[in-house]
């Protein structure tokens, strides 16, 4: 079954281009041109992703975002906007947008980010609702950050827990150091790739039966890491 994207865009040219490219990437697209109409669609039908323009008639994208999150609709949302300023970006992210793409954007980049976001949210659904992830002799509560580790019961730091969450979500896949930096450190003051390695060392100390021969958090030479359970 193909995944469905709700595209909310009032500009004919941009909308046509985005729809065409999403469809050739295999998505089904529902295109809504007005803000108020988009909100009622997003509320009544399930979508795998919403691509949401900010400047719209009827209701603007920020209002739609706010309203959806207030209604506890957790569909991943990527904001599309001409307003590339940092204020709007921060506002959108604080209100629960998952990503932000300033116009004009490169179509290939948009598709790559849509794919990444959809993959992430599909994988999130696989984390049990109890938030407790168990593997080997270990246990991590992804919500409270409490873990059962080689050091006994441990409270993970926020960054450690975010990294564990990323590993769990992407298990089996190779993550580059820059993927990890982007997802775990995001907009914080940029640390170096060595920071990633140090965090991985710390996690191995907690979650590997033998740190010298990791069997869960594997090094992928020249690329990054891969988590296997």
* Stretch 41-60 residues interacting with Ca ion (CB under 5 A): 53, 55
* Stretch 105-164 residues interacting with Ca ion (CB under 5 A): none
**Cβ-based nearer residue to Ca ion, 48 or 53:** 53
**Cβ-based nearer residue to Ca ion, 10 or 36:** 10
Query: Per CB under 5 A, which region of 5-13, 170-178, 206-214, 220-228 contacts Ca ion?
Result: 5-13
State in angstroms the smallest separation of the CB of 75 from Ca ion.
20
Neighbouring CB atoms inside 10 A of 219's CB total 13
State in angstroms the smallest separation of the CB of 62 from Ca ion.
12
State in angstroms the smallest separation of the CB of 117 from Ca ion.
21
Residue nearest to Ca ion (CB): 55
State in angstroms the smallest separation of the CB of 79 from Ca ion.
11
Kindly state the helix (H) or strand (E) to which residue 105 belongs, with its residue range: none
**Cβ-based nearer residue to Ca ion, 3 or 29:** 29
Q: Which two tokens stand for residue 150?
A: 């080689």
Full DSSP string of 134-154: EETTEEEETTT-EEEETTEEE
Peptide bond into 104 cis (omega under 30): yes
Cα–Cα distance for residue pair 66/55, rounded to 1 Å: 14
Cα–Cα distance for residue pair 184/174, rounded to 1 Å: 15
- Work out which of 4, 10, 141, 183 binds Ca ion, going by CB under 5 A: 10
State in angstroms the smallest separation of the CB of 111 from Ca ion.
20
**Cβ-based nearer residue to Ca ion, 10 or 37:** 10
Kindly state the helix (H) or strand (E) to which residue 227 belongs, with its residue range: strand 224-227
Q: Is the dihedral of CA 106, 111, 116, 118 positive or negative?
A: positive
Query: By the criterion CB under 5 A, which residues form the site for Ca ion?
Result: 10, 53, 55
């Amino acid at each position: 079954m193909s995944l469905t994207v709700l595209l909310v865009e009032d500009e004919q040219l941009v909308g046509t281009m985005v729809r065409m490219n999403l469809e050739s990437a295999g998505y089904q697209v529902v295109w809504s041109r007005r803000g108020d109409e988009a909100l009622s669609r997003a509320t009544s039908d399930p979508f795998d992703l919403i691509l949401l323009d900010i400047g719209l008639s009827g209701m603007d994208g920020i209002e739609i975002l706010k309203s959806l999150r207030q209604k506890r609709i957790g569909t991943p949302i990527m904001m599309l906007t001409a307003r590339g300023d940092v204020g709007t970006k921060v506002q959108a992210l604080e209100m629960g947008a998952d990503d932000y793409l300033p116009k004009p954007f490169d179509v290939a980049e948009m598709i790559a980010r849509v794919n990444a976001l959809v993959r992430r949210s599909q994988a999130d659904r696989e984390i049990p609702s109890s938030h407790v992830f168990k593997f080997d002799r270990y246990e991590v509560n992804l919500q409270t950050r409490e873990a059962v580790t080689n050091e006994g019961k441990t409270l993970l730091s926020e960054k450690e827990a975010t990294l564990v969450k990323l590993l769990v979500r992407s298990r089996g896949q190779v993550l580059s150091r820059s993927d990890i930096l982007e997802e775990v450190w995001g907009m914080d003051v940029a640390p170096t790739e060595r920071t990633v390695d140090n965090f991985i060392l710390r996690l191995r100390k907690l979650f590997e039966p033998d740190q010298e021969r990791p069997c869960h958090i594997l090094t992928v030479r020249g690329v990054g890491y891969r988590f296997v359970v």
